[in-house]
């Protein structure tokens, strides 16, 4: 499983470096989408648990910092589904320039593995939601 994780990262890093040639922010353009996709995967797991258990389960950690509900909801989603993955991914891939070793070890798949991961992650959430809305509501 860890091998697949690093293969996806290597593919994403090489793909972003090609697209952002000469731009120093390729790390950010790689870290943000993969962390967001991992957050989507966590949301998918929570969604399926909610369906299996047939009860209202807490999907995001509640935050009440501001008077504006939309801002609190945004912070809640950010804290639950994005920030933990961004920190873990940074520590696993980018700290101490570990990404160089990851690229060298796992190589490139011309962006195919990265795109498959993105499509599968989004599809695993969207397809069941569409089926539920179409047939069960």
pLDDT tens for residues 2-25?
Answer: 899 999 999 999 999 888 766 778
Residue whose C-alpha is closest to residue 26's, from 92, 93, 79, 75 = 93
Q: What angle do CA 61, 64, 66 make, to 5 degrees?
A: 135
Q: What is the pLDDT of residue 22?
A: 64
- 84 to each of 32, 78, 81, 115, how far by Cα in Å? 12, 9, 7, 22
Distance CA 3, CA 30 (A): 18
The answer for residues whose C-beta is within 8 angstroms of residue 51's C-beta and 6 or more apart is 128, 132
Mean pLDDT of 63-83: 89
pTM for this entry: 0.87
């Amino acid at each position: 499983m860890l091998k697949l994780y690093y293969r996806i990262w290597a593919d994403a890093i090489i793909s972003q470096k090609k697209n952002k040639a000469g731009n120093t922010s390729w790390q950010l353009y790689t870290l943000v989408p993969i962390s967001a996709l991992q957050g989507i995967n966590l949301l998918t797991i929570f969604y399926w648990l909610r369906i299996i258990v047939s009860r209202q389960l807490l999907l995001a950690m509640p935050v009440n910092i501001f008077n504006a509900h939309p801002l609190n909801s945004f912070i809640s989603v950010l804290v639950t589904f994005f920030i933990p993955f961004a920190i873990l991914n940074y520590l696993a891939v980018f700290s101490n320039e570990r990404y160089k070793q990851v690229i060298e070890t796992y190589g490139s798949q011309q962006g195919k593995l990265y795109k498959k991961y993105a499509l599968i992650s989004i599809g695993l959430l969207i397809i069941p939601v569409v089926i539920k809305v179409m047939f069960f509501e």
